[in-house]
Structure 1
């Protein structure tokens, strides 16, 4: 069995009992960064074998992992935070495991965009998750396409690009478009800033920019 195991995005109390049990029982744990996962595993008394599985080695490692699964091994995949395969490594391994007829189970658990969407106050009955926008090639084309999107849009962004992204959103969506930015979700200094895109620009031009950001933008009015 391949288990996809979400881990907390900040607060360790968000780890589920089932996730702890699966990680303790697994024959092997695949971690995006073993150094990042080490404190988490130590905190919950998990001492299983851990190997790195990240975007730089996943294509080479997938065939070897498939072999272990076919031998009856139970393998658990975790990312640095949140649910694997959501803007993190994992999709390739899941796809290839399914192709080989192997069992795959994804546990429910922490992921950043769901709480950000729910507490944004924007419509959440229909939405589109965009993750990280392309850094260069295709970025402007994506922006133009999304300018006509009527569903609430969700993006991930890094601190050093957040002001640039806000400026681009104002250019393509208009400064009066409603939006919300959540950062440091579930952590001590969690912050949720709501208003128009212009309001958000003013806020982050005058306040510290730290942490991981989830950006929710209202869809284009009908």
Structure 2
């Protein structure tokens, strides 16, 4: 086994100043760069005077490229993986290659940097203790509304990517599914010249975007505030916490019975609640 390393390197999502010195060093020192689009990444390499050879690794050739990458690593050549922008594998190709490299026994080293999801989260003013990233919403309205309906009761912040061609339709679908009052934040063109981060109730947000055509352009991160957790009437939050702990370890009947003994609540009512929660 050679000592070659496979690096997963984050690149800027807009502002070229966000490429870290460590990333530059790695990209200059490896024998090969595996890029999602070599023409697109060529401009970044030119800016930093990085002359390392590149090959393309994208959705349509990832499995075929894996063997080429493994052969290079076996020959002792370290390789860097980059996407068009941001952190590779985050809603981008690469996991097949990374898994294959790891399974072959080679060291995979992440070189952290920009990620649009995290960049948007830290400036959106939404809860960040728990969130879920869902990638891109479906292109067709029916699929989009179905996906949104699945997260209508989600208590975590939900994050999507969206394109300039569908942002108005997506916001309208959110109104149709959630109603007009769900709080949504749009983070547009992050780190670029016309960066905008704006939040409002989704109906007002849609009207704001409609009134300014410039706000309909670019790449979007859409952040949807989760709903407040619902506590069933008749049970305190503490009782439900005890019940959930019991349900994690015991069958429904036993969990309800023990919770009743601990809390003094009625066993039959707790049993019905346990069935619903299970």
Q: When the two structures are superposed, what TM-score results if normalisation uses the length of structure 2? A: 0.77
1:192 paired with 2:200, answer: no
Comparing both chains, which one has the higher relative contact order based on Cα–Cα distances under 8 Å and sequence gaps of 6 or more? 1
Q: Which moved more, 1:135-144 or 1:152-161?
A: 135-144
After TM superposition, the structure 1 stretch with the greater mean CA deviation from structure 2, 3-12 or 131-140, is 131-140
Give the Å deviation of 1:138: 5.0
Structure 1 window deviating more from structure 2 (140-149 vs 162-171): it is 140-149
SS at the partner of 2:34? Answer: strand
Instruction: Out of 41-50 and 64-73, give the one that drifted further.
Output: 64-73
Q: Which residue of structure 1 aligns with residue 72 of structure 2?
A: 68
Query: Partners of 2:21 and 2:79 in 1: how far apart?
Result: 17
1:192 is paired with a residue whose SS is: strand
| Alignment check: 8 A CA contact 1:2 1:75 kept | yes
Match of 1:112 in 2: 116
**How far has the Cα of 1:135 moved from its partner?**
2.7
Structure 2 matches for 1:203-218, cutoff 5 A? Answer: 203-208=208-213, 209-218=216-225
Three-state SS of the structure 2 residue aligned to 1:176 is coil
The one-character-per-residue Cα deviations of 1:19-48 (angstroms, maximum 9, x if unpaired) are: 000000010001111111111101111001
Deviation track 1:166-221 (CA, whole Å, cap 9, x = no partner) reads 11111222210111001111111111111111121001111121110000000122
Matches within 5 A, 1:115-194: 115-136=119-140, 138-194=143-199
| SS of 1:2 mapped into structure 2 | strand
Aligned length: 222
C-alpha separation in 1, matches of 2:131 and 2:73: 35
Structure 1 partner of 2:252: none
The worse-fitting range, judged by mean Cα deviation, of 140-149 and 99-108 is 140-149
User: RMSD in angstroms over aligned alpha carbons?
Assistant: 1.3
Unaligned stretches of 5+ residues in structure 2:
230-278
* In structure 1, distance between residues paired with 2:161 and 2:22: 27
In structure 1, C-alpha distance between the alignment counterparts of 2:129 and 2:156, rounded to whole Å: 9
Contact 1:120 1:179 in 2 (8 A): no
In our comparison, the structure showing a higher alpha carbon Rg is 2
Q: Secondary structure of the equivalent of 1:119? A: helix
Counterpart of 1:6 in structure 2 is: 10
